[in-house]
Amino acid sequence: MLDFVQQLVSGVALGCVYGLIALGFVLVYKATEVVNFAQGDLMMLGGFFAFTFIGMMGLNYWIGFAGAVAAMALFGMLAERIVVRPILGYPQFSIIMATIGLGYFLRSVAGMIWGTDDFKIETPFSQGVLRIGSLVLAHDKLSVIAATVILCALLWLFFNKTTLGTAMRASSENMLAAYYMGIPVKRVVSIVWAISAAVATCAGVLLAPITFIHSNVGLVLGLKAFPAAVLGGFGSIPGAVVGGVLIGVIESMAGFYLAEGWKDVAPYLVLLAVLLLKPEGLFGLHARKKV
Amino acid sequence: MRFLFKTDYEDDIRLFPHSGYVASYGLLLAVLLIAPYVLSSYLMSQLVFVCIYATVGVALMILTGFTGQASLGHAAFLAIGAYTAAYLQKYNVPFPVYFLAAGVLTGCIGALVGFPALRLQGIYLVIATISFAFIVEEILARWESVTNGNEGLRVKAVSLLGVTVSRDSPTFYFLCLAVLVLTIVGTLNLLRSPTGRAFVAIRDSETAARSMGVNVALYKVKSFAISAAITGFAGVLFAHKLSFISPEMFTLQLSIEFIMVILIGGTFSLHGAVLGAIFIVMIDPFLTYLKDDMPGIIAGIAATFGAGTATAANIQSKVAAFASLNGLKGAIYGIIIMLFVLFEPLGIYGRWLKIKLFFQLFPLYKRATFKRQKIYVKSERNR
């Protein structure tokens, strides 16, 4: 039983990271119907920025964290301006390929700048553990869970209660109509990319104590975040986090109870099952063209 | 400019619209047939890879280019073909038999993948095919009794009619070329048949195709099966060419390379698959060439512009250091994908058509001819 709870908590922590990356997908998807295959790589880059600020320049953890988030928000806007904006409105596949290309580019450049070693960021949560009876919970894992819940709540409020959030949902439905209603669609898209890069950075920094930061971490985790996003239903903010947690728990349970090899496949098996049985996911809406 | 006067439907679907086509393709075929006796063995080897990649490109073109179903899992189909060949070869099954068996098995698996894909489109389909490829990769690594796990399998040379065909011999090249040409001709015939027209109708609008009486589900599964089967054939040749296969060869990276083949070539014509294959296969030796020769050339240019010997040598060593950076190749790949998507969405073959039209219509050519329509409305995107 203790093992089970232990696995459950570490699965939830891992799942929260997937959920945070999936949140990035969902934000961009909600606002522009574009899927960003470079989301994991944005996370990786955010982790490296934070490592540069904290590990190499010796800044305070929180200042470095904030600096990395700000830098990555700017970077997200830049990436949107250069790569995505010229092809908005073209078939989804073009944008998927463009972001795959962007991911390739970021991964290689990060490898060139920071090398291919693993890096670790010293955080205030690295050492401590929380003991409940004989259950041992590491602070770094708890910090991921707490941050995910907070970020998810903030983003949900942002999307559903603020004017800018409403503008984003509107431009997702119909960019032209939104533009005619006075919504600056280009700026909205730009802001969405900034937010999603910032969320990715949070994921990267929080992840750093659990899995180390290296140039391929984005690819590995980014691809695991897809099942999370699909399970939750693309386009639903709470869905992304719930999906992420479910995938994380399934993965960590499969790693513990099933034979070797199931751990890596389980998320994708779940994904295929979801796509077969309920393609719109747990919280998603199914849209169909009406003639 | 040549005007073709078509009087009936047979004229419209002819493989060679006029004699110019026969002459130019005949010439191309002749060049390809004498190539092994002229080119160096390294270039021949690359040419074999071009044939294999182009075959996969044609397969992907049927699925993605003509049926509109994106797949990022074709490396898995290639792997299934390659492993079928390697496994059957251990039991002394003759080449023609396992060649066909690989195609049939891969085709059946392709059809199985096609069924779940019926309900999916766009991004969901891409994700589903990626997951399928991951699962296949993991199975290959774990099913050790058949695949020998991560240690991989050796593949012996092809033995055709009692003769052993080494993977570097011209005969093997002719085999690959024959498979490619047969695939292309077969695909062209398929595309001008009712099946091909149904594929294109589904690509252009699923709703419209369905309301015209096209059985969308049937044709999607057919498209998946045909595409997978052709990829399986290519997989057999791939295994023989490499003479060793292991699961880590068939990763997402390879699937992306295949998509790059059709993306760079141009996703609307079979020419694109071949041109893209040439581009993807030749980019590697080209980059190596640049890496070896570029530092010297740049230093030479610097020297002619009045830089001293020491400065030139300094520049040369710096450029050499940059060129040998780890991962530069990945960055260049990424940039190439982005540049093509952004600036040349119709690919190399599209550029060729544009240039051709420019001279045909001179001076009346206008850029807008090739402009694509942008869709900003969500409901229009759900097809």
Q: Cβ A172–B130 below 8 Å, yes or no?
A: no
Query: CB-based contact (8 Å) between B374 and chain A?
Result: yes
pLDDT of residue A290: 55
Contact between A29 and A239 under an 8 Å Cβ cutoff? The reply is no
Q: Which residues of B touch A223 (CB under 8 A)?
A: 130, 134, 252
Q: Min CA distance, B129 vs chain A (Å)?
A: 9
% of chain B beyond a pLDDT of 90: 41
Q: Cβ B333–A291 below 8 Å, yes or no?
A: no
Q: Which residues of B touch A18 (CB under 8 A)?
A: none
Q: Min CA distance, B382 vs chain A (Å)?
A: 5
Q: Cβ A109–B336 below 8 Å, yes or no?
A: no
pLDDT of residue B382: 54
pLDDT of residue B1: 64
Query: pLDDT confidence of B379, banded at 50, 70, 90?
Result: low
d(CA B125, CA B220): 12
pLDDT of residue A288: 57
Q: Cβ A86–B142 below 8 Å, yes or no?
A: no
pLDDT of residue A283: 76
Query: CB-based contact (8 Å) between B333 and chain A?
Result: yes
Q: What is the dihedral of CA B105, B192, A92, B128, to 10 degrees?
A: -10
Q: Cβ B379–A289 below 8 Å, yes or no?
A: yes
Structure tokens at B122: 């766009």
DSSP B61-83: IIIIIIS----S-HHHHHHHHHH
Closest partner residue to B330 among A93, A108, A289, by Cβ?
A: A108
Q: Cβ B379–A287 below 8 Å, yes or no?
A: yes
Query: pLDDT confidence of B188, banded at 50, 70, 90?
Result: very high
pLDDT of residue A24: 86
pLDDT of residue A162: 92
Q: Check the CA dihedral B331-B334-B338-B343 and report its sign.
A: positive
pLDDT-flagged residues of chain A (< 50):
none
Query: CB-based contact (8 Å) between B210 and chain A?
Result: no
Residue of B nearest to A96 (CA): B123
- Contacts by A131-140 with C-beta closer than 8 Å and gap 24+? A134/A2, A135/A2, A135/A5, A135/A6, A136/A6, A137/A9, A140/A206, A140/A209, A140/A210
DSSP label of B245: E
* Window from A95-104, A186-195, B237-246, B308-317 with minimum mean pLDDT: B308-317
- B227-243 average pLDDT score: 94
Structure tokens at B103: 């195609």
pLDDT of residue B63: 92
- B15-39 average pLDDT score: 89
Q: Cβ B376–A92 below 8 Å, yes or no?
A: no
Query: CB-based contact (8 Å) between B383 and chain A?
Result: yes
Q: Min CA distance, B361 vs chain A (Å)?
A: 27
Residue of B nearest to A87 (CA): B342
- B314-323 average pLDDT score: 79
ipTM for this model: 0.87
DSSP chain A: -HHHHHHHHHHHHHHHHHHHHHHHHHHHHHHHS---TTHHHHHHHHHHHHHIIIIIT---HHHHHHHHHHHHHHHHHHHIIIIIGGGTTS-HHHHHHHHHHHHHHHHHHHHHHH-SS-B----TTSS-EEEETTEEEEHHHHHHHHHHHHHHHHHHHHHHHSHHHHHHHHHHHBHHHHHHTT--HHHHHHHHHHHHHHHHHHHHHHHTTTS-B-TTHHHHHHHHHHHHHHHH-TT-HHHHHHHHHHHHHHHHHHHHHSPTTHHHHHHHHHHHHHHHH-TTTTT--------
Q: Is the pLDDT of residue B234 over 90?
A: yes
Q: How would CATH label the architecture of B36-278?
A: Orthogonal Bundle (1.10)
Taking the model in full, what pTM does it have? 0.90
d(CA B247, CA B224): 23
Q: Is the pLDDT of residue B381 over 60?
A: no
Q: Cβ A226–B127 below 8 Å, yes or no?
A: yes
Q: Is the pLDDT of residue B187 over 90?
A: yes
